[in-house]
Homo-oligomer: A and B are copies of this chain.
Amino acid sequence: MNRVWIKLALITVVIAAHQPFASAQEGMPPFDLQTGNAAIQVIIPAVDPIFFEDVTVNGGDPSILIRYTTLIVNAWFDASAAYHKTAVGVYSTPDRQQPYDPTDNSALNVAMIAGSKVILEACFPAHAQRWQDMLDNAIGDRGGEPEIKAAIRCGTYAGRAVWLGRLNDGMNHDGTMGGRTANPMPFADYTGYEPLNSAYRVRRPSHWQPAIERMGTGKYRTQMFVTPQYGQVTPYTDLWSLNLPLDPPEKSDAMNTEAYQEQADAVLAKSASLTDEQKMLSEFYENKLFSLPVSAVVASMKQGMNLMEFVHMFFSQEVAIFDAGIWVWAKKREFDAVRPFTSIALLNGDAPVEAWGGPGKGTTQIPASQWESYLPVADHPEYPSASACLCRAHATVMQEVTGTNDLGWEVPFSAGSSFVEPGLTPGADLKFTFDTWDEFAEVCGMTRLWSGVHFEDAVVRIKEPCTTIGTAAAAYVQGLIAGGKK
């Protein structure tokens, strides 16, 4: 692979994860079907702006984002099976084609784009023209070649099979579950989850309270537990046979008075000592369209992966985080645990505490009831941490696939680039280097503590189960590649 374009492609992915499509495309060489990587150069740059427009503000919302990305990457994988000697797809294996030759990515690229197009048309029909353009622009004047035509058929076939295969997997993607025949509510709960506390009042101090969120300049809404059914979704791996125990969050049990107080105090102490580096790392991991996929792209560059290897790697990490999400959501629902903002307010009322005082306020004395976490608190119960588990499963599967713990990724944060404190944080340009995958996962967990959205147990206890999930994901995809699973 050409080192120059892949550097440019990486920049594209990074920019696309932050900015609209048009600017992401500036200064890029034209996509070369034969030598390029459609995932990095075509599909991600087309999709990310729509995610930021229609799905998520800052790249949080993992349960929904991972849903979309997994369908897309699964389509790549199933389409790629046609170009592999032994691999079978998850939902279909298109007719075998001429096996992939690393000197010509053309057919595999087209099949990946065509598969993505099917998924994207189903998920984002209002942008149908964009998905058509994505394919047409990539193919250019080669649409008449039999190899390209066959690739479109392969990709389309694979995309349809993935879409239909996952349509009724329990996620309520089309919003019709629970007997909903009119006014579909995609991804809405159909299982009858109801929070034990309201935004107005806490009656069950061990349990989750929906937070109040501001919309626009002066409207407020209360959270609903996002996709409480995600824990019931069909996993890729034999997730529920993996034996992944998790103790209850004893310290969040308000009956354990001392521990309940201690873990709340620990969050305030971290809030009071937030550094610029901690703030920027917290934001880095909050953006699930940046931290996770870009680290995978970086690793693929270091390894000099060809396009088929890239697809196998990328699908492995998608399976890992998709299944990790299922496990986390099942546990979140089971324990329905209190977030720090609730227990801090309950314990201290309006008494002054020392903490981060809000954007631009630094560390100061504020009434405990008015304390807010540095990162916006997510719309699901606290225990265990989704981000920590996703990072751990991702780091594990990346080690399995690449055969090394080395990552060596230097991430720059330019002065004032914070989305929480724009123009202010960080005060000067920063760099952070992730030497290893273990460090990548470890720091990820820490940021959830620094940023005040989690207690410690939610982060440290996921290490073993989420490592196991990552390992299982790698083995699962290896099985498919070897043709051993259907």
Contact = CB atoms under 8 A, between A and B. Distances in A.
Interface residues on A, range: 35 or more
A35 interface: no
Contacts of A194: 198, 200-201
A367 B183 CA distance: 10
A430 interface: no
Interface string A95-120: 00000000000000000000000000
A231 to B, nearest CB: 16
Contacts of A203: none
A186 B357 contact: no
A199 interface: yes
Contact of A54 (B180, B185, B217, B223): B217
A56 B279 CA distance: 31
A300 interface: no
Interface of A: 54-56, 61, 64, 67, 123-124, 179-183, 185-188, 194, 198-201, 210, 212-224, 226-227, 350, 357-358, 361, 364, 366-367, 370-372, 379
In the A-B complex, list the 3 residue pairs whose CB atoms are closest, starting with the nearest: A187-B218, A182-B366, A221-B221
Nearest to A186: B218
Contacts of A180: 370
A226 B215 CA distance: 11
Contact of A64 (B179, B218, B358, B367): B218
B56 A183 contact: no
Contacts of A200: 194
A182, A210, A213, A218: residue with the most chain B Cβ atoms closer than 10 Å: A218
A419 to B, nearest CB: 13
Given A194-B201, A200-B194, A222-B222, A64 B182 contact: no
A61 B218 CA distance: 10
A121 B54 CA distance: 29
Main secondary structure of the interface of A (DSSP, over half): loop
Contact of A188 (B124, B220, B222, B379): B220
A357 B220 contact: no
A185 B214 contact: yes
B219 A199 contact: no
Contacts of A218: 55, 64, 67, 186-188, 226-227
Given A199-B224, A201-B194, A224-B212, A182 B219 contact: no
A43 to B, nearest CB: 18
A108 B198 CA distance: 51
9 contacts: A54-B217, A64-B216, A123-B217, A124-B217, A181-B366, A181-B370, A183-B358, A188-B218, A221-B224
A247 to B, nearest CB: 29
Contacts of A56: 216
Contacts of A371: 182-183
B367 A181 contact: yes
Nearest to A123: B217
Contact of A61 (B179, B198, B219): B219
A219 B181 contact: no
A185 B370 CA distance: 10
Nearest to A226: B219
A367 to B, nearest CB: 6
Given A185-B214, A218-B226, A222-B222, 16 more contacts: A54-B217, A55-B216, A55-B217, A55-B218, A67-B218, A124-B217, A179-B367, A181-B366, A181-B367, A182-B361, A182-B364, A182-B370, A183-B372, A186-B217, A194-B201, A219-B379
A55 B61 CA distance: 23
A139 to B, nearest CB: 28
Nearest to A358: B183
A219 B64 contact: yes
A459 B215 CA distance: 28
A285 B157 CA distance: 47
B370 A183 contact: yes
